């Protein structure tokens, strides 16, 4: 495989950062790859495949409806569109022109990230409420009006104590018959998070399937059966297997990707995650044992309040002679390029095992000895 990198003139990356789209998302297991290869033997009616896999996912998660999408961002776009149009075919074909239909999606300032931009693709207008410190119930109530199509929520929400909790947002939204869209992109472990938001009352929930072992360009939308059905109409398959001219045609997924989502989710829900974390701990200990005590560098497990899946280096720049950012940059500049998780607030970096190729910990340990030694 090194030859293809040479041929294309790009550097290979050792990914110790995590499931990031910029780095290719993740690596499906051998089981999932075999499933993807097996569907190459025949073509298939994609509508049948999408519906069957959606039904199987619904059963696995215990939710009403599910739709495979080309990533979490596409799921959010479909969710916004479904809430704006309902099952009105004329409105579905009118998207992204939202004249005459509710198109406002309320979002708390504390929960803003750039990915919420995707809900404006079908014509949604994001209405930001709250300030840098907090959002109040009164501000949410005042923002709801005749043009409100949905309320957005970034899970898990407790990242910012100033944000209203999801349960309260659901209660308020539903008291006005307003659906709640949850961006739960990477909220896949513990595995009950794949259904808990819907079971708490959220109407539509979007996930990135790369986080549970599928391919980079895949995701799922789960939730109310009626809204998921409308989302399907907006999607590429709604465009292809019906006369409806929906906006989602560019966001298609291939048959290999669809079965990858199914196979990866099945594997994720049935695997022994205690064994998975135990394997990370072995690799973390291996790295720790291969690294000497550098001046101004402290090693610890990451995250500190959950099962460890990374080795964290906290760096005192005055004692080490380099900052954490300096080390991060030097790791990236090598060949292979090494990407780690940046933790600027802690003046730290984390070397994550989730996406790191087996044996990559030895390469990174050697590079750290060169950089910090």
Mean pLDDT of 104-113: 96
Confidence of residue 2 (pLDDT cuts 50, 70, 90): low
Chain centroid offset of residue 11 CA: 25
Model confidence at 247: pLDDT above 90:
yes
- Give 235's DSSP letter: B
CB atoms closer than 10 angstroms to residue 246: 24
| pLDDT for 160 beyond 90 | no
Distance between CA 321 and CA 323 in Å, rounded? 7
Average pLDDT of the residues in 339-362:
96
Say what percent of the chain tops pLDDT 90.
95
Q: Under the phi-then-psi rule, with left for phi > 0, alpha for psi from -120 to 50, and beta for the rest, what region is 138?
A: alpha
The model's pLDDT over 56-107, given as tens digits with 9 standing for 90+, comes to 999 999 999 999 999 999 999 999 999 999 999 999 999 999 999 999 999 9
For residue 366, give the 3-state DSSP assignment: helix
Task: Give the residue-averaged pLDDT of 260-278.
Answer: 98
Q: What confidence tens digit (pLDDT) does each residue in 117-130 have? A: 999 999 999 999 99
Q: Which pLDDT score, from 0 to 100, does residue 346 have? A: 87
Taking residues 224-241, report their average pLDDT: 98
Q: Does domain 2-24+272-372 have CATH number 3.30.70.20?
A: no
How remote is the C-alpha of 331 from its chain's centroid? 25
Q: At what angle do helices 255-270 and 46-61 cross, to 10 degrees?
A: 10
Question: Given a cut of 90, is residue 22 above it in pLDDT?
Answer: yes
- Ordered by start, the domain boundaries in the chain are 2-24+272-372, 43-270
Fold of the domain built from segment(s) 43-270: 3.40.640
Mean pLDDT of the chain: 97
Q: Is the pLDDT of residue 334 over 80?
A: yes
For residues 317 and 298, give the distance between their C-alpha atoms in angstroms, rounded to a whole number: 12
Specify the pLDDT at position 131. Answer: 92
**Confidence label for 345 from pLDDT (cuts 50, 70 and 90):** confident
Q: Are 26 and 210 in contact (CB under 8 A)?
A: yes
pLDDT of residue 152: 98
Distance CA 217, CA 255 (A): 12
How do beta strands 348-352 and 337-343 pair?
antiparallel
Q: Is the pLDDT of residue 40 over 60?
A: yes
Q: Is 187 helix (H, G, I), strand (E, B) or coil?
A: coil
Burial zone of 115 (CB within 10 Å; 0-12 exposed, 13-18 middle, 19+ buried): middle
Helix, strand, coil: what percent of the chain each, to 5?
45, 20, 35
Which of 247, 250, 257 has the alpha carbon at shortest distance from 214? Answer: 257
Q: Which of 153-167, 247-261, 317-331 has the lowest mean pLDDT?
A: 153-167
Confidence (pLDDT) at 147: 98
Average pLDDT, integer, range 291-311:
96
Tell me what pLDDT residue 97 has: 98
């Amino acid at each position: 495989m090194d030859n293809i990198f040479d041929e294309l003139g790009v550097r290979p990356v050792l990914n110790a950062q995590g499931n990031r789209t910029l780095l290719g998302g993740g690596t499906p297991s051998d089981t999932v790859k075999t499933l993807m290869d097996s569907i190459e033997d025949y073509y298939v009616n994609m509508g049948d495949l999408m519906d069957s896999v959606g039904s199987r996912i619904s059963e696995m998660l215990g939710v009403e409806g599910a739709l495979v999408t080309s990533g979490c961002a596409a799921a959010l776009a479909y969710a916004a569109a479904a809430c704006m149009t309902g099952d009105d075919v004329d409105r579905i074909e009118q998207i992204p022109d939202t004249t005459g239909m509710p198109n406002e999606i309320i979002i708390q300032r504390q929960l803003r990230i750039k990915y919420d931009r995707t809900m404006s693709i079908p014509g949604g207008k994001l209405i930001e409420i709250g300030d840098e410190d907090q959002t109040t119930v009164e501000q949410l109530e005042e923002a709801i009006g005749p043009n409100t199509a949905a309320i957005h929520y970034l899970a898990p929400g407790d990242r910012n104590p100033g944000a209203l909790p999801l349960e309260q947002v659901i209660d308020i939204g539903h008291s006005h018959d307003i659906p709640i869209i949850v961006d739960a992109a990477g909220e896949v472990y513990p595995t009950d998070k794949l259904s808990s938001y819907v079971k708490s009352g959220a109407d539509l929930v979007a996930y990135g399937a790369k986080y549970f072992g599928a391919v980079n360009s895949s995701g799922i939308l789960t939730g109310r059966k009626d809204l998921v059905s409308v989302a399907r109409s907006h999607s590429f398959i709604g465009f292809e297997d019906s006369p409806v001219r929906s906006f989602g045609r560019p966001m298609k997924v291939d048959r290999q990707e669809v079965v990858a989502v199914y196979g990866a989710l099945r594997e994720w829900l049935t695997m022994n995650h205690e064994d998975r974390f135990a394997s990370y701990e072995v690799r973390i200990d291996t790295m720790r044992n291969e690294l000497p005590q550098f001046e101004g560098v402290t090693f610890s497990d990451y995250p500190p309040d959950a099962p460890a899946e990374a080795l964290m280096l906290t760096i005192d720049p005055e004692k080490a002679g380099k900052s954490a950012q300096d080390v991060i940059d030097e790791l990236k500049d090598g060949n292979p390029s090494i990407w780690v998780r940046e933790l600027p607030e802690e003046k730290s970096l984390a070397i994550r095992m989730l996406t790191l190729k087996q044996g990559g910990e030895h390469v990174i340990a050697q590079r750290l000895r060169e950089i910090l030694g």
